Amino acid sequence: AQSVTQLDSHVSVSEGTPVLLRCNYSSSYSPSLFWYVQHPNKGLQLLLKYTSAATLVKGINGFEAEFKKSETSFHLTKPSAHMSDAAEYFCVVSTYNTDKLIFGTGTRLQVFP
Amino acid sequence: DAMVIQNPRYQVTQFGKPVTLSCSQTLNHNVMYWYQQKSSQAPKLLFHYYDKDFNNEADTPDNFQSRRPNTSFCFLDIRSPGLGDAAMYLCATSRTGRHYEQYFGPGTRLTVT
């Protein structure tokens, strides 16, 4: 079975400081992993995805994530937070043969001026 | 731009009064999904379609029904809304295959009075 665990329900940073949102996964096969962002009262937007190519994945808005098989992790990072990054972030893994996604519980990112 | 469109963005209905939410897509994806998302939670899959093949989640209440008359459109019908059905309803689309991401619409916020 596949699963994802987001290790922090809330993360607070100051504007201009680095962001780290942590995600561990469990999968019996080579997974496809995604990070989505959701601003209040909006739909989910794909930030980036890993599908067994390069382990360091670059996404939109300066975000990137590194797939580490040995640590079963897929942490999301950004060098410098912006106020507009304040949102809910979901780490997601795909299932093997059902086209369904399994969502983590989400991490709420707050950015202080 | 190709996209997933949901109408209306906000819907208010009375307890027990049927309501229909709509979703359309210009991406020509064969898979369409309906999710329910309550405050501070991850989206919860209600059902999805492979083309016209309907797939219901085991824990989706019978109160929720869906129709997909063609590739572009999908509807969510709530036959007798209860107060517990107040939520954000998200439509998503994707291609078939676990490497493909899902594209989400902006959501419909349902209020039940």
Element holding A12 (H helix, E strand): strand A10-14
Q: Report the residue from A43, A49, A99 with minimal CB separation from B106.
A: A43
Could you list the pLDDT tens digit for every one of the 113 residues in chain A? 889 999 999 999 999 999 999 999 998 888 899 999 999 989 999 999 998 778 999 999 999 999 999 999 999 999 999 999 999 999 999 987 788 999 999 999 999 99
Residues in B 25-44 with any Cβ partner in A closer than 8 A: 31, 40-43
* Per-residue pLDDT at B97: 82
Q: How many residues does chain B have?
A: 113
**Within 13 Å of residue B100, how many CA atoms lie on the same side as its CB?**
17
Element holding B103 (H helix, E strand): strand B103-104
Q: Please state, in angstroms and rounded to a whole number, the distance separating the CA atoms of residues B5 and B1.
A: 11
* Per-residue pLDDT at A44: 96
Q: A15 to chain B, minimum CA–CA distance in Å?
A: 23
- Residue B2: pLDDT band (50, 70, 90) is low
Residue A103 to residue B43, Cβ atoms within 8 A: yes
Decide: residue B27, CB within 10 A, 0-12 exposed, 13-18 middle, 19+ buried. middle
* Strand residue runs (E) in A32-80: 33-38, 44-50, 56-58, 64-68, 73-78
Mean pLDDT throughout B13-32? 96
Q: Report the residue from A32, A96, A106 with minimal CB separation from B42.
A: A106
Q: A12 to chain B, minimum CA–CA distance in Å?
A: 16
CB B84 within 8 A of CB B38: no
Q: Report the residue from A41, A46, A108 with minimal CB separation from B101.
A: A46
Q: Which residues of A touch B100 (CB under 8 A)?
A: 99
Q: A62 to chain B, minimum CA–CA distance in Å?
A: 19
Q: Which residues of B touch A34 (CB under 8 A)?
A: 101
Q: Please state, in angstroms and rounded to a whole number, the distance separating the CA atoms of residues B87 and B11.
A: 10
B54 CB within 8 Å of a chain A CB:
no
Find the closest chain B residue to A32 by CA distance.
B99
Q: A56 to chain B, minimum CA–CA distance in Å?
A: 16
Q: Please state, in angstroms and rounded to a whole number, the distance separating the CA atoms of residues B101 and A48.
A: 9
At A84, is the secondary structure helix, strand, or coil?
helix
Q: Please state, in angstroms and rounded to a whole number, the distance separating the CA atoms of residues B47 and B53.
A: 11
Question: Tokens in use for A90?
Answer: 């979901």
pLDDT in tens, B66-101: 999 999 999 999 999 999 999 999 999 999 887 889
